Amino acid sequence: MIDLELTPDQNLLVDTVRDYMAKEFAPTIQDNDLNHFYDPNTFAKLSDLGLMGICFPEKYGGAGMDYVSLGLVSEELEYVDHSFRTIMSVHVGLCGCGLYIWGTEEQKQRLLRPLASGERFGAFGLTEPGAGSDVAAMQSTARRDGDSYILNGEKTWVSYADYADTFLLFAKTDPAAHHRGISAFVVHRDEAGPGFVTQPIKHKAGIHAGDTGSISLQDVRVPAANRLGEEGEGFVIAMSSLENGRYTVGAGACGTVRASLDYSVRYANQRQAFGQPIGRFQLVQQMIAKMYQRYEAGRLLYLKAGWLKNRGEPSNRAVSLAKWYCCDAAWDSASDAVEVHGAYGYSDEYPVFRYLRNAKAPVIYEGTREIHTMMQGEYALGYRTERPARKTLPAYRPDAEIALV
């Protein structure tokens, strides 16, 4: 039985993060976006709040909370801007959860703990110039050399590539084995040497207040102790990590829907036309009503996915559906919000056009709309089945501590 009531601590978490984001980041985000500026202090501020290890056990430096809490925070971060939720997605969902689920005890203490405490900033590199949805087409290689591996290749569209310290990267240890020849590696920037080079991707259509970059790997030596899982398990590790990342993306998208709704309601009650607020016109009401409908449906989808993950039940289908629906809902709601604002919506005087520019990226990354459509069709037809998760994050404990400031 699903209990839709949040715990008192989860409500406190939401209120605290919402207030902090409103005071600390909301006043400057519009200017930062216009100026294509990422504030390098952002990660440290979110870490000081206790969010960068929110769902990892306390023995690894985390706060010991659960997947629902991870989703709730993702929504609050994206309500202010995608760039903040993206930090949560790559640091916690993709990199951190990959380490927690697949790492040995020694690796969790050595590699996960600095991420959970906020000492290091984690990122994730899977996509390549010629390999996106077709992961098996990757060209990056990893050759064993004694107690190390030598990595060569390129990664692109890596969120926060220019600022992260620790990277979960994927390369082929057996190129002839296609996806079964992929392995996973944890690479530290400060230990990788001159062959590890990152550079920003410029002229993005959106998420201007966040960083996106590419990585060049030229004879980068990585200790064998930093290989995650066994050789050839990289594809499974990547898909597992992507599921956790997708969960944060879907939950975060509800923040864009809610922000679009809030700004549209405020504007529709203030803007006058033909002697009355434009909110009195039925077609404006229709757009606002659809935003509310999308938010309520999307929130239920991601809460259900989080509930399944907390219980250790198969959740890939639920996560895929939440990501697919919520990202489409965010795009549609931002588009409607622009129309509610009329000509002003087509400018940066109001934030709604920023929402629209930002909302397109999540429709594409972490599984395109088309990939998730195919997945849902295959589930419905019985061509695809779910398997129990290998491991889950810890269930929420009422006595878990988080540094709420």
CATH code of 129's domain: 2.40.110.10
Is the same domain home to 113 and 246? yes
Number of domains in the chain: 2
Residues 402 and 279 in one domain: yes
d(CA 233, CA 230): 6
Structure tokens at 63: 């706060």
Domain shared by 27 and 132, yes or no: no
Residues 214 and 66 in one domain: no
Q: Are residues 37 and 100 in the same domain?
A: yes
| Residue at which a domain ends, from 212, 233, 254 | 233
| Rg over CA atoms, the chain | 21
Q: What is the pLDDT of residues 97-142, one digit of tens each?
A: 999 999 999 999 999 999 999 999 999 999 999 998 899 999 999 9
Same domain, 47 and 138: no
Same domain, 224 and 165: yes
- Residue 180 corresponds to which amino acid? R
- The low-confidence residues of the chain, meaning pLDDT below 50, are 396-405
- 313 included as an active-site residue: no
What 8-state DSSP symbol labels residue 217? E
Mention every residue, 6+ apart, whose C-beta is less than 8 A from residue 72. 6, 10, 13, 14, 17, 251
Contact 171, 183 (CB under 8 A): yes
Question: Measured between alpha carbons, how far is 200 from 122 in angstroms, rounded to an integer?
Answer: 17
Q: Tokens 């929420």 correspond to what residue?
A: 396
Answer yes or no: do 266 and 306 share one domain. Answer: yes
Q: pLDDT by residue (tens digit) across 309-345?
A: 998 899 999 999 999 999 999 999 999 999 999 999 9
Domain edge (last residue) among 233, 265, 300: 233
pLDDT of residue 4: 79
Q: Which amino acid is at 25?
A: F
Task: Please check whether residues 103 and 184 belong to one and the same domain.
Answer: no
Q: What are phi and psi of 404, to 5 degrees?
A: -85, 120
Question: Which residues fall within 8 angstroms of residue 212, CB to CB, at 6 or more apart?
Answer: 157, 158, 159, 160, 161, 200, 201, 204
Exactly one of 78, 128, 231, 366 is catalytic; name it.
366
CA 98 to chain centroid, in Å, comes to 13
Residues 229 and 102: beta-carbon distance below 8 Å = yes
For residues 310 and 365, membership in a common domain is answered with yes
Which pLDDT score is estimated for 151? 98
> Which domain covers residue 245, as residue numbers?
1-120+234-405
CA 5 from centre of chain: 24
**Distance in angstroms (rounded) separating the CA atoms of residues 119 and 294:** 37
Among residues 259, 345, 210, 250, the alpha carbon closest in space to that of 80 is found at 259
The closest alpha carbon to 159, from 114, 192, 206, belongs to: 206
Q: Say how far apart CA 123 and CA 90 lie, in whole Å.
A: 5
192 and 285 in a common domain:
no
Element (H, E) at 17: helix 8-24
Same domain, 35 and 104: yes
Q: In CATH, what number is assigned to the domain containing residue 253?
A: 1.20.140.10
Domain end position, chosen among 203, 233, 263: 233
pLDDT at 389: 60
